[in-house]
Amino acid sequence: MTTMTIAKAINAGLRTALTDDPKVLLMGEDIGELGGVYRVTEGLKREFGSMRVVDTPLAESGIIGTAIGLALRGYRPVCEIQFDGFVFPGFNQITTQLAKMRTRSDGMLSVPVVIRIPYGGGIGSVEHHSESPEALFAHTAGLRIITPSNPHDAYWMIQQAVTSQDPVIVFEPKRRYWLKGEVDTSQPAGDPFTAHVLRQGTDATILAYGPLVPVALAAAAAAAEDGHSVEVIDLRSISPIDFDTITSSVTKTGRLIVAHEAPIFGGIGGEIAARISERAFLSLQAPVIRVGGFHMPYPIARVEDQYLPDIDRLLDALDRSFAY
């Protein structure tokens, strides 16, 4: 076991991927000399050179488009989008080219491109630096989307993304980059597209992913002080979604709270609520309750704490669920 932050775990995972496969290369704005805004790629250019850790122009469409071409020639590019709100100039390349190429070619072509996107708020930043756009990409078939919530998952999931034959978007919770945890470099984190039950419970289930997983665990611990046994699930994969694990939990607990930073309206939580209502209707003792951001542009830094879901909002959702 090694203790490291999520940022260092991703760095170590990328180093392993670069070492294991000479066709792996990194691309992004300021990722080489600077090591990226969050220093996730720090030191990799010195170790592997400027031909494999490439500082690109400020052009997200160009980054993704170039990566698609490289993938078609047998490379495995890993693209870093500097901030979540900067991905949209490359949205067309991702949704109309990257996601469709394999189907368009009837399986003859694959584009194993990884796109790393720091996402979410909580860092006191300015506009376009605290978005949660995961639902926009999850709606597009052909993309796999994962998000780690701890260093162990971060270390292994980035490597698993690199070896995938399908394009993978890795949403990295930026306010958790400095979260420390144990990483077992000898024990893989399992299938990256399955959910993990982090805390067992019998009275209700809280489902979260990425930056809200620590909040969900804290809310479950607080609920335990009031005598409620709350199960916590880390979704891990946003597309595909592991509905089997969620259904199994809800069948046991009878209640489900879905939490994410993104706005509730049109969010991933709505799809999960609908599916679980179909799959576990007779087990539900209360409606599925969603906790998330408000349907508004991300607010200025001094009031973002009122926008982001916190322990109190999760506990309030649990209280409303237990009231049924």
Residues noted as catalytic: 129
Residue 232 tokens read as 């916590």
With vertex at residue 9, the alpha carbon angle to CA 44 and CA 164, rounded to the nearest 5 degrees, is 80
Beta bridge partners of residue 3, listed in sequence order: 182
Q: How many CB atoms lie within 10 A of CB 242?
A: 17
- Decide if 222 contacts 132 (C-beta within 8 A): no
Q: State whether residue 131 is helix, strand or coil.
A: coil
Residue 227 tokens read as 């005598």
Backbone angles phi, psi at 203, to 5 degrees: -100, -30
Give the C-alpha separation, 218 to 214, whole Å. Answer: 6
